[in-house]
Amino acid sequence: MSGSPRSALLRLPARALRGLVRLATSGNAVVVIVLAFLSSLIVGALIIIPATPSALSAWGDVGSDPLNAIVQSLDAVGNAYGSLLAGAVGSPGGYVQALDLRPADVVSAFSPLSETLVSTTFYLVAGLGIALAFRAGLFNIGGQGQLIAGAIFATWAGFEFPGLPIYLHLPLAILCGAMGGAVVGFIPGLLKAWTGAHEVITSMMLNYVVLSLLTWVVTTRLFQAPPRNEAISKVIAPSAQLPHLAGPDLRVNLGIVLAVLAAIGVAWLLRHSTLGFKFRMVGLNPFAARVAGAGMQRLTVIAMTLSGLLVGLAGAFMVLGVDLQIAPNYGGTYGFDAITVAILGRGSPTGVVLASLLFGAFEAGGRSMQASTGIPLQLVEVLQAVIVLFVAAPGVIRTIYRIRVARTGERVFGGWGA
């Protein structure tokens, strides 16, 4: 009876629907993330409406014209999210126009994607670093300091050896950045191994130590740019710059390729290497790991150092790929946001890739939304925080949407003394 391909084809939609329903009620992690995403858009809408004058004034006379208030609100929200999306992945109109192959049109069509990938680069490498520490049961909250240290060292290598050919200079600068981050990650690791000092506290404190170091270092003779009247570093040599991938007008550069390679590397490390196995063992059950004879202290130091190394890479990519010099308060908040990326990605390299794409798209889209609709860029910070809050607390999603969500039983942290 089910022999004919036609009837099978007919039953396909029904089967897909049943599958979707089962997926939606099974408490899959994907469902949680999708619902968290929707929730954040709703929260976002609730703060876009009062921030839009036309919608706000329509609600002012909601008594006389309730329909207009709703229409104006939907219009404001649609406008904001529309320009957010267009700023993140580009607009269909732009791509159609690019078909004429005029360079200016092609650049403007692909510029949103390029910007998304540029931001993704930093979130990805830094997020991988934090995620690696997560997997080893460590909470590296010192990403910002490690990222700045990476930027400082990469900048130094970038301007100090101007004569080198690019195939030597660029790897050297990247390596220096990685080392800078590794040193700052090494300290909390060592302190934890030696004295049991909690890495959350020590790495958080190091953020501010390194931030102060940055303020000082850009005023030293070694770093400060020639007229020496501004607190800003020298510019790195062209031979230390990450080459652009798609022409000089699009900022997307080799950094994204290296970041993806780093993701593959971390995935391999966790899945196939002895060291990665030990990390996961310590992360899942430190007691069992200790009993099994894993050198806990050595693993702690190695995990924190590797974590800092990856985050330091993000700082290097920022300087070598985009900014070319550093100044006080350099680094944005990528080192801090990397924590939320790692949480959203649930500590897995694949998850971090997806989460950093989302955050990169949010950032690029937010900038363009601010430019075209006047809605402040900080909207995306709220959206990001809400998503991660709900993803970290699937129980809340369960309550709000009345669905069953599997308990993940994932515990990252067990108190200061742990």
Partner 1 sequence: MSGLAGRLGLLRPGSGDLAPSKSRDLTLAQRRNVGILLVATGVVTLGLFLDQTPAGLHTTFRLAMSPAGHVPSVVVPSLATEAVTGVLTLLLGVLQLVRRSPRLTYLILSVGLAAFGIAFLTWAGKGQTVNFVGLLATSLIEAVPLALGAFSGVLCERSGVINIAIEGQFLIAAFFAAVVASVTHSLWLGLVAGIISGGLVGLILAVFTITYRTDQIIVGVVIDAFALGLTSFLLQALLVPNQTALNSPKVFQPIPIPLLDRIPVLGPVLFDQSVFVYLTVAILIVIQVGLFATRWGLRVRAVGEHPRAADTVGIDVNRTRYLNVMLGGLVAGVGGASFTIGLTGQFSTDMTAGLGFIALAAMIFGRWRPMGALGAALLFGFSDSLQFTFSVLNVPIPSAFLAMFPYVATIVAVAGLVGSARAPAADGQAYSRE
The residue ranges that bind partner 1 (CB under 8 A) are 47, 50-51, 139, 141, 191, 194-198, 200-202, 204-209, 212-213, 215-216, 219, 286-287, 336-337, 339-340, 343, 375-376, 378-382, 384-386, 388-389, 392-393, 395-396, 411-418
- Whose structure tokens read 């790495």? 203
Taking the complex as a whole, how short is the minimal distance between the CB of residue 169 and partner 1, in angstroms?
29
The two tokens of residue 46 are: 């609730």
DSSP, residue by residue, 13-34: HHHHHHHHHHHHHHT-HHHHHH
Distance, in Å, from the CA atom of 296 to the CA atom of 289, rounded to the nearest integer, reads 8
Structural contact between residues 236 and 319, judged by C-beta atoms closer than 8 angstroms: yes
Residue nearer to partner 1 on the CB measure, 213 or 267: 213
Please state at what angle helix 29-51 crosses helix 5-26, rounded to 10 degrees: 70
Cβ proximity to partner 1: between 216 and 268 the closer is 216
Query: In the block, which residue shows the tokens 């966790």?
Result: 270
Shortest spacing between CB 75 and partner 1, in angstroms: 16
**From the CB of 388, what's the least distance to partner 1, in Å?**
5
Going by C-alpha positions, the residue among 313, 289, 19, 311 that lies closest to residue 136 is 289
Amino acid of residue 217 = V
Distance of alpha carbon 271 from its chain centroid, rounded? 22
Q: Residue 242 or 311: which CB sits closer to partner 1?
A: 311
Q: Closest CB to partner 1 among 105 and 381?
A: 381
Least gap, CB of 36 to partner 1 (angstroms): 12
Q: Select 61 or 410, whichever has its Cβ closest to partner 1.
A: 410
Contacting residues for 216 by C-beta, under 8 A, at least 6 apart:
none
Least separation in angstroms between CB 235 and partner 1: 22
At its nearest, how many Å lie between partner 1 and the CB of residue 339? 6
Residues 241/316, Cβ–Cβ less than 8 Å = no
Distance CA 250, CA 94 (A): 15
- Nearest-approach distance from CB 377 to partner 1, in angstroms: 8
Residue 402 DSSP symbol: T
Rg of the chain on CA atoms, in Å: 24
Phi–psi pair at 407, nearest 5 degrees: -70, 125
Closer to partner 1 at the Cβ: 28 or 215?
A: 215
Of 74 and 393, nearer to partner 1 (C-beta) is 393
Compare residues 161 and 401 and give the one whose CB is closer to partner 1: 401
